[in-house]
Structure 1
Amino acid sequence: MKFKLRTLLATAASVCVLASAQAQSPAPIKIGFMAELSGPQGVLGQDQYDGFMMVVERNGGKLGGTPVQVLREDSQLKPEVAVQLAQKLIEKEKVSIITGITFSNVMMAVHKPITDKEVFLIGSNGGPAPIAGAQCSPYQFIVSWQNDMQSEVVGKYAADKGYKRVVALAPNYQAGKDYIAGFKRFYKGELVDEVYTPLNQQDFSAELTQLAASKPDAVFVFYPGGLGVNFVRQYQQAGLMGKIPLLSTGTNDGSTLPAIKDAALGAISGSFWGPDFNNPASKKFVEDFEKKFNRIPSQYAAQSYDAALLLDSAIAKVKGNVANKKEFMAALKAADFSSVRGNFRFNNNNFPVQDMPVFEVAKDAKGRVSMKMVAIPLRNHQDAYHQLCALK
């Protein structure tokens, strides 16, 4: 009888311990990751995903000490598809956070459906002007940049170089318009022409013929992903590289240079970060990324890596309780993490305040085509729309 009693007591104790352990083990935080993961622009979304998952995998599937489940979705560069995916992630999967978002037309489509549901939107690429200004939300935290910032620094560089006549080209969608607007804001010379090409246009021979005829002092372009590969190759083949300086944003970087290679040498690009940054966080990121993927990381990977670091810090601050939205919002706003770019803080509109350098496409110490920082024309730079945002 005593033996049976001891057995029953031991079994009951084991059940209690197991139940206690299960009660203490938090349910995974569901995070929706949405980006362009197919087609010519798929390399951008893949780099975002790779950068984000580096942090998750390094932490053993956790962020902030809490298990996370990352649900990966391809928005296919189709705003209507992205809206459906956002609804699925929110209503069916019950995600607390959505991150990624590559293109600005997709961001404009999903921003309101996500933030109106009080789901946290941690953007790691697209930063269109409207959501930095009057359409801002306390549930948005854009870790990359406001679109204009990357071209504003190129406009300042062009002004500093004394270029008098410039032609600008970009795809005909929100980001293209933002980038050219940003360039014009800081460039003080004559903009001879601004050309908006269809978003899916791959052949730029007509535009390049017109460029050669107009003979500007420089050309400014924004062509991301596969568009940039095609444009720069065709620019070089037309004999314009080295003849008319090519200034760019989101065109020559780690996502496109493996395909463009030497054809881009000498081109100038504006960005928030480059692989030659010398701070500890950036050096570790580059080292780990190259070891894992055997390639130089792009800015898309870097800013998504920062997005994961931001979530890692904020989730730790609330001890995994992201349901306490007020506290989680404050933890995100604090941005208490070591960014690959060095200095980082959120402005009132939850867009970054940060230094903006320019880079030249050049060979690195290993003989690879990469980015070399040549100047920092804008320091502690704020976007042009933050005063239109009602957030404080």
Structure 2
Amino acid sequence: MKTNVPFALLRRSFFAATVSAVLALPALAADNVKIGLLSTLSGPGAGLGIDIRDGFQLAVKLNGGKLGGLPAEVIVADDQASPDVGRQTADRLVKRDKVDFMTGIVFSNVMLAVGAPTFAAKTFYISANAGPSQLAGEQCNPYFFSASYQNDNQHEAVGKTVADKGFKRVALIAPNYPAGKDALAGFKRYYKGGEIVSESYTPLNLLDYGSELSKLRAAKPDAVYIFLPGGLGINFIKQFVGAGLSKDMTLFGPGFSGDEDVIRAVGNPMLGMFNTSQWAHDLDNAANKKFVAAFEKEYGRLPTLYASQGYDAAQLIGAAVRDSKGKLDDKAAVHKALKAAKFDSVRGSFKFNSNQFPIQDYHLRVITQDSKGRVTNRTLGTIFKNHADAYAANCKMPGL
């Protein structure tokens, strides 16, 4: 007996079967890996973005132009330290250029703006610097991994150091943007037994600190804590020393404010300044020794914290590409490989917490002269071992 099946029904059945077959196909290995490196490459913060870029590209070069065994295409763009520019450029990179990974943001206000188009496109963002508290806590996202730190962490280490050294009257200065607020919150979380005599939030583009120096002179703290990265720190420290305040007040900062980029610009007036970091160029591990030597050879200068983070971000991406067997469309496989973090970090011990921010050590450094006569950082010891951020408990990580 013949069965008359309408042609339209046959066509729909064939289409459904074809779609099911396509969806059932395993993810194929990619021909290359494409990275959008969006960073601050102009303005007062340009030095920070340049170091991230240089550290990242050095890792690619040392791996023969590849990451995880695949040829690597790095598309570099300038966010101009602007959330609007960052958001628009990120949207272009994930939609038009179809990058597999994003990285490079320096400033947290830009990172928070860039997150929306990046996560919506299901593109993994590997932070080489910015670590806002929002993304560590209630706004945590499976597509965001920090290869650097959570914003509060270095400042927590300084707060503990200042308290342990017995300073009783402290003044705090930071820029008025998300990372600045995270910074001072972190410092105060671990600074116990003393008084905060003043707390100032300055414009992010401020370069003349005359008003802040007058406040310090009036408040008479015995220690001053600054979070002023890049050109901000350069200008403040020069003006602080020039005003004679360094004779009566001990200056502390996170690694950002006492890093090699600031030292190169300021020089001897920075001698004796304490700062904290999860990394230092004198950390004694094989991966770090290789990185520092290669960076000096390639660029003719000591690397900064930012360069080390750019380098590690590239190595983490490489590990994820390798361990997912290059199947970059398989988001679950890439996520698993990122989470495992099977790479040799220049900072030594490194693993991810449940919110995909690092659990790592933080060290105390002092600016001194080394055996070559260079003004640079020397590591004094470890403040925190396997330190996690304060926001992980608030992260209810959603699925992919």
Native 8 Å contact 2:29 2:328 kept in 1: no
Aligned residue number for residue 254 of structure 1: 260
1:345 counterpart = 2:343: no
1:193 matched to 2:202:
no
- Paired residue secondary structure (1:241): helix
Of residues 97, 102, 117 in structure 1, which corresponds to 2:101?
A: 97
- 2:394 paired residue among 376, 388, 391: 388
Farther off after superposition, 123-132 or 240-249: 240-249
Matched, 1:77 2:75: no
- Aligned match of 1:303 in 309, 317, 331? 309
Is the 2:81–2:110 Cα contact (8 Å) retained in structure 1? yes
Tell me whether 1:356 sits opposite 2:367 in the alignment. no
TM-score by length of 1: 0.92
Contact 1:254/1:298 (8 A) holds in 2: yes
Tell me how far apart the structure 2 counterparts of residues 93 and 312 of structure 1 sit (CA, whole Å): 20
Letter in 1 for 2:301: R
- Aligned counterparts, 1:175-324, within 5 A: 175-188=179-192, 189-249=194-254, 250-324=256-330
8 Å CA contact 2:95–2:121 kept in 1: the answer is no
Quick check: 1:332 aligned with 2:332? Answer: no
Q: Is the deviation greater in 205-214 or in 195-204?
A: 205-214
Could you state the TM-score of these two structures normalised by the residue count of structure 2?
Answer: 0.90
Instruction: Give, as a single letter, the amino acid of the residue that structure 2 aligns with 1:103.
Output: F
Contact kept, 8 Å, 1:103 with 1:126, in 2: the verdict is yes
Q: Distance in 2 between matches of 1:109 and 1:194?
A: 27
Residue type of the partner of 1:114? Answer: T
Asked whether the 8 Å contact 1:63–1:315 carries over to 2, the reply is yes
Whether the aligned pair in 2 keeps the contact of 1:26 and 1:67 (CA below 8 Å) is: no
Q: Aligned pairs, how many?
A: 369
Q: 1:133-144, aligned counterparts within 5 Å? A: 133-144=137-148
- Please give the residue correspondences for 1:45-84 in structure 2 after superposition, counting only pairs within 5 Å: 45-84=49-88
**1:375 positional shift:** 2.6
- Aligned match of 2:92: 88
Within the alignment, does 1:34 sit opposite 2:31 as a pair? no
The CA deviation at 1:210 is 1.6
* Gapped regions of structure 1 (runs ≥ 5): 1-23
AA partner of residue 56 (structure 1) = V
Asked if the contact 1:242–1:266 (Cα under 8 Å) also holds between the matched residues in 2, the reply is: no
Q: Identity over the aligned pairs, expressed in percent?
A: 48
Matching residue of 2:15: none
CA distance in 1, matches of 2:189, 2:260: 27
Displacement of 1:116 in angstroms is 2.2
Distance 1:242 1:147 in 2: 30
| Contact 2:128-2:306 at 8 Å conserved across structures | yes
CA displacement at 1:241 relative to structure 2:
2.0
1:213: how far off? Answer: 2.1
Native 8 Å contact 1:41 1:225 kept in 2: yes
Aligned to 2:11: none
Residues 56-105 of structure 1 deviation map (CA, whole Å, 9 limit, x = unaligned): 11122110000111100100000000000011001110111101111011
Find the aligned partners of 1:25 and 1:112 in 2 and give their Cα distance: 27
Deviations 1:170-207 (A, max 9, x none): 11110110000000000012111110011111000121
Indicate the RMSD between aligned Cα atoms, in angstroms: 1.3
List aligned pairs for 1:122-141, cutoff 5 A.
122-141=126-145
How far did 1:242 drift?
A: 4.2
- State the SS of the aligned residue for 2:245: coil
More off after superposition, 105-114 vs 335-344: 105-114
Q: Does 1:116 align with 2:103?
A: no
Q: Deviations over 1:249-274 (max 9, x none)?
A: 21110222111111111111111111
Distance in 2 separating the partners of 1:258 and 1:222: 18
Residue 161 of structure 2 corresponds to residue 157 of structure 1: yes
CA distance in 1, matches of 2:269, 2:384: 28
- CA distance in 2 between counterparts of 1:349 and 1:242 reads 43
Map of 1:5 onto structure 2: none
- Counterpart in the other structure of 1:7: none
Give the drift of 1:212: 1.8
